[in-house]
Structure 1
Amino acid sequence: MSHEGIRFLTEEEQKRQDREDRRAAGLTKQALTPAKVKVHKTEGTGMEIEWEDGHRSHWSFAWLRSACPCATCVEERQLEGREAGVPKSKPKQLLQMYEPPARPASAHPVGRYAIQFNWMDGHSSGIYSWDFLRRHCQCEDCRLGRSVPN
């Protein structure tokens, strides 16, 4: 297996790259740092985050499962031309099969930068970084801001 072209960043280089990425996106460190995270597993309603900058975000479990950031799911979405959070199209069948709603069996923090869900369907490789979640905030203001061309 060849590793040509792969470059591993030092911790300092990664921190510098992260700062540049935040600056380019106009997001401050406070905007990417959760003050409070609530996963409503029992209610089945999703997850909400109150960010240090005062913004509040909410995602349904269906959206989160369809937006899985693991390499396999990202590649599948790209091949199908789907955006993060857009569910797979269902095949046309005479009798539609019941599919239980997306729900996590568990959720746990990953370091200080992300959360990981172990989904009831057995999938668990997606790590949802705070950066990914904030950039995909589902509130009306954020969705409208993303749809406005620069």
Structure 2
Amino acid sequence: MAGLSPQTPQPTTITVHQQSRILEVGFSDGRQFRIPFELMRVYSPSAEVQGHGPGQEVLQTGKREVDLLALEPVGNYAVQPTFSDGHDSGIFSWDYLYFLGSQQDELWRRYEERLQQAGADRDAPMVAASGAACGNHH
């Protein structure tokens, strides 16, 4: 997880918009981002999504309708969302939220590319990979 540096803008406002499924975050440098829950869920910084190293990422699908059930503060540097699909292990630091907000277009493009390469549909339900759980070695 990216650490905080003195240059990291701090959030001044965080608003959850349930109807539009958007997390609105205003930062101390004046920038304001509207981050879709789906983008947050697809790019969750958790090991469950990111894997344990490059190339280990788990392609997420069926997250367009995901809701944000809770958003808990983690110290003074992050928030931990609970999503309606039960995912709650991602800790989103301020700089990671800033990254998601500022790089949205590129992140969506990369997501669409990965779906295409995998021959996956964005709205297909997730298939549980057998034996792929953390620490589950055969």
- TM-score range relative to shorter protein: 0.5 to 0.7
Larger relative contact order, structure 1 or 2 (CA cutoff 8 Å, min sep 6): 2
Q: Which amino acid aligns with 1:88?
A: Q
**1:108 to partner: Cα distance:** 1.6
Which residue identity lines up with residue 12 of structure 2 in the other structure?
A
**Residue aligning to 2:13:** 36
Equivalent pairs, count: 104
Q: Which residue of 1 aligns with 2:87?
A: 123
1:112 match: 76
Relative to structure 1, is the Cα distance of residues 50 and 121 closer, same or farther in structure 2, using a 3 angstrom cutoff? same
| Superposed displacement of residue 88, structure 1 | 2.9
- Which residue pairs with 1:52 in the alignment? 28
C-alpha displacement at 1:77, in angstroms?
9.1
Answer yes or no: is the 8 Å Cα contact 2:49–2:57 preserved in 1. Answer: no
Identity of aligned residues (%): 25
What amino acid maps onto 2:21 in structure 1?
T
Give TM-score, length-normalised by structure 2: 0.61
Where does structure 2 lack aligned partners over 5 or more consecutive residues?
A: 107-138
- Structure 1 unaligned runs (5+)? 1-16, 23-27, 91-98, 144-150
Structure 1 residue matching 2:80: 3-state secondary structure: strand
More helix by percentage: 1
Cα RMSD (Å) of the superposition? 3.0
Match of 1:62 in 2: 38
Alpha-carbon displacement from aligned partner over 1:42-82 (angstroms, at most 9, x marks no partner): x1421011101101111101111101111121118943668
Report which of the two structures shows the higher radius of gyration computed on alpha carbons.
1
CA contact 2:38–2:65 (8 Å) conserved in 1: yes
**Residues 40, 100 of structure 2: 8 Å contact kept:** no
Residues 38 and 64 of structure 2 are in contact (CA less than 8 Å); yes or no, is this contact kept in structure 1?
Answer: no
TM-score of the superposed pair, with normalisation by structure 1: 0.57
